[in-house]
Chains A and B, each alone.
Chain A
Amino acid sequence: MTPENLVFLAAIIFVIGAIGVMTRRNALVAFLSIEMMLNAANLVMVSFAMGRGGLDGQVAAFFVMVVAAAEVVVGLSIIMIIFRTRRSTSVDTASLLKL
């Protein structure tokens, strides 16, 4: 697979993730979709590192993984407390704050 094709694949994964965030009502699934978008970006960086012949992109992918892990810690704790309070992780029930 050429780097260009990998970038197209990553773009497809990113779009699937973005659609997931916007359409799924479960906060956990929405969060999962966000992680998918981050990984799509990782794939882009790694494939460009292959195509352009540098190591920067591959190193950056590790940084992104670490950041994503930290994000999971914070995100799951927020989703957990919401679930314990409301017995639901649906983003629709969280509607006390209105425009």
Chain B
Amino acid sequence: MALLEIASPTFEWLELAPVLLVLAGGCLGVLVEALFPRAWRFTAQVAVIELTVLAAFVVLVANYRAHRSGILAMGSIALDGPTYIMWGSLLIFGLLGMLVFSERHLDNGASVFTPAASSIPGSVHEAEALTARLEHSEVFPLALFSLAGMMVFLAATDLLTMFVGLEVMSLPLYLLSAMARRRRLLSQEAALKYFLLGAFSSAFFLFGMALLYGYAGSFDLKAIDAAITSPYYGPGLLYVGLAMLAIGMLFKIGVVPFHNWVPDVYVGAPTPVTGFMAVCTKLAAVGATARVFFVALGAERWSWQPTMAVLAVLTMALGAILALTQTDIKRMLAYSSIAHAGFLLTAIVGANADPGVQVNSMGSIMFYLIAYGFATIAAFAIITMVRNSAGEVTAISGWAGLGRKSPILAGIFAFLMLSFAGIPLTGGFIGKWAVFSAAWRGGFPWLVVAAIAFSLIAAYFYLRVIVVMFFAEPAQSVVVGRASGMTWVPVVLGVVASVYLGLFPGQLLDLVSASSVFLR
């Protein structure tokens, strides 16, 4: 009899269709792997990712135009303004990132992924797989699953859904980082570090979540907010839970002192995976962090704002200063991504949720992430093209004189560096201006002053790359590979978007400010 009392759960299929389609695409990819002959698999997988992501994007836009919103799936996912913007940008960046996965022109018809991930590097098994021209086309379903996890992670309104999203996002990424075709020892080591540290941090997330559950009696973000105003237990549980939850989330963003994995994983992972990870993981993690801290812990902001401000300064400082000393371009971009995490954190510290203000915190964060995303996807796609006989050349010295070998490519890369540095007339500049003004309005002028100082330091190492590319003697034996459209589309789109966002930011700024309010 008791079973009859359970009401059947409601599930909004249409509103949740973007996530469901991406998940279904991943499952379809697994089927393709099982049913298609080997020669067709790679092409079929590329078709599957393109179709599913485009379909998900179309449904998302249709839902947006029909003004569908609300708390979905029995109060576990919020479809609100930030969700729309971030799902849309995740789908775009995810598709661009996965297009770079499918590049096979640069390395004699082989992708950047190892032919047999289970083989020992340098073994007969690996050599046989190389001669048989095997490919791991499983990378595409893995990336789709990860993308679906990110979408759930940033839209979740209860901590349990958020945790599941976090793991669905991370687990495929651990595997993808281990699958580089060249320098496999580095790649496997990066995966081990990423996995152990990632699992360690998600244990902290989980314990923090358990303590907040005890504090509020529910996993719901709204219930935690309500419990802060009328508590059942003392604040100790809240503070410890808040801190541990923050450790888990800040780890994924790559905030000091939880940044150790970033440089190693960015260097070791195959470059297209690094690009995917650098943009999409950061976007999802920042979105989820902002949701937790604004919706659930907004009433407690006086206790987390100062700590977060100190972490932001440390992150910017360490990212900008250590990037100065790097000799490897991927490692330099890793430290630059740490510095960008710091800049983003300033807007979260600002916690300026006034929708009447033109640039509030969430709007500026989303603008910054979109500008940074386009530039980063394009930059990592360009790195895959600069090669010698042993694969990609990531030493900055190898990039010397690139301006004479391929003026277009070097020019694009130089522009992207300027956008990272935040030079006016680029998307990066408007993004920086937006997050800094959100922090300023939030009452943290000293933080803005520090952030501007560190972005000046950061500009130096971006400019250094430009100087090396255009004003140094060309390095021997380094060539610009002939890439197919799979690499060029993200590069061209990335640079066009950076120019557009720099020259005409108004449209996107209006859009993100109008859709910056979290549904509670």
Contact = CB atoms under 8 A, between A and B. Distances in A.
Interface of A: 7, 10, 14, 17-18, 21, 27, 30-31, 34, 37-38, 40-42, 44-45, 48, 51-52, 54, 56-57, 60, 63-64, 67, 70-71, 74-75, 77-79, 81-82, 84-85, 91, 94-97, 99
Given A60-B160, A78-B175, A78-B195, 10 more contacts: A14-B207, A34-B199, A37-B206, A41-B210, A44-B211, A48-B214, A60-B219, A85-B121, A85-B184, A94-B193
A64 B186 CA distance: 31
Nearest to B177: A78
Given A41-B203, A56-B219, A91 B192 contact: yes
B354 interface: no
A29 B62 CA distance: 50
Given A57-B213, A70-B167, A78-B174, A96 B186 contact: yes
Contact of A34 (B118, B160, B203, B210): B203
B199 A75 contact: yes
Nearest to B264: A97
A52 B206 contact: no
B209 A97 contact: no
Contacts of B267: 97
B160 A94 contact: no
Contacts of B213: 44-45, 48, 56-57, 60
Nearest to A48: B214
10 contacts: A14-B207, A41-B210, A45-B214, A48-B210, A51-B214, A56-B218, A78-B195, A85-B121, A94-B193, A96-B189
A71 B206 contact: no
A67 B198 CA distance: 14
Given A31-B196, A56-B218, A75-B199, A41 B188 contact: no
B268 interface: yes
Contacts of B174: 74-75, 78
Nearest to A71: B199
A67 B163 contact: yes
B240 to A, nearest CB: 9
Contact of A81 (B118, B190, B204, B210): B118
Given A34-B200, A60-B213, A99-B263, A71 B118 contact: no
Nearest to A70: B171
B120 interface: yes
B195 A97 contact: no
Contacts of B184: 85
Interface of B: 117-118, 120-121, 160, 163-164, 167, 171, 174-175, 178, 184-186, 188-193, 195-196, 199-200, 203-204, 206-207, 209-211, 213-214, 217-219, 232, 260, 263-264, 267-268
A34 B196 contact: yes
A45 B217 contact: no
B190 A41 contact: no
A14 B118 CA distance: 33
B196 A81 contact: no
A75 B195 contact: yes
Contacts, number: 121
Contacts of B175: 74, 77-78
B436 to A, nearest CB: 29
A78 B211 contact: no
Contacts of A95: 189
B477 to A, nearest CB: 23
Contacts of B260: 99
A77 B195 CA distance: 11
A67 to B, nearest CB: 5
A97 B196 contact: no
Contact of A74 (B163, B188, B195): B195
A99 B334 CA distance: 11
Given A21-B200, A41-B210, A56-B219, A79 B120 contact: no
Contacts of A81: 117-118, 178, 188
A7 B234 CA distance: 14
A60 B205 CA distance: 14
Contacts of B214: 7, 44-45, 48, 51-52
A74 to B, nearest CB: 5
Nearest to A53: B217
Which of A27, A41, A44, A60: most chain B Cβ within 10 A?
A41
8 A-B pairs with the lowest CB-CB distances in the bound complex, closest first: A48-B214, A37-B203, A44-B210, A41-B206, A97-B264, A52-B217, A94-B189, A41-B207
Given A44-B211, A77-B175, A78-B188, A67 B196 contact: no
Contacts of A31: 196, 199
A94 B192 contact: yes
Nearest to A73: B171
A74 B210 contact: no
A78 B264 contact: no
Which of B186, B217, B260: most chain A Cβ within 10 A?
B217
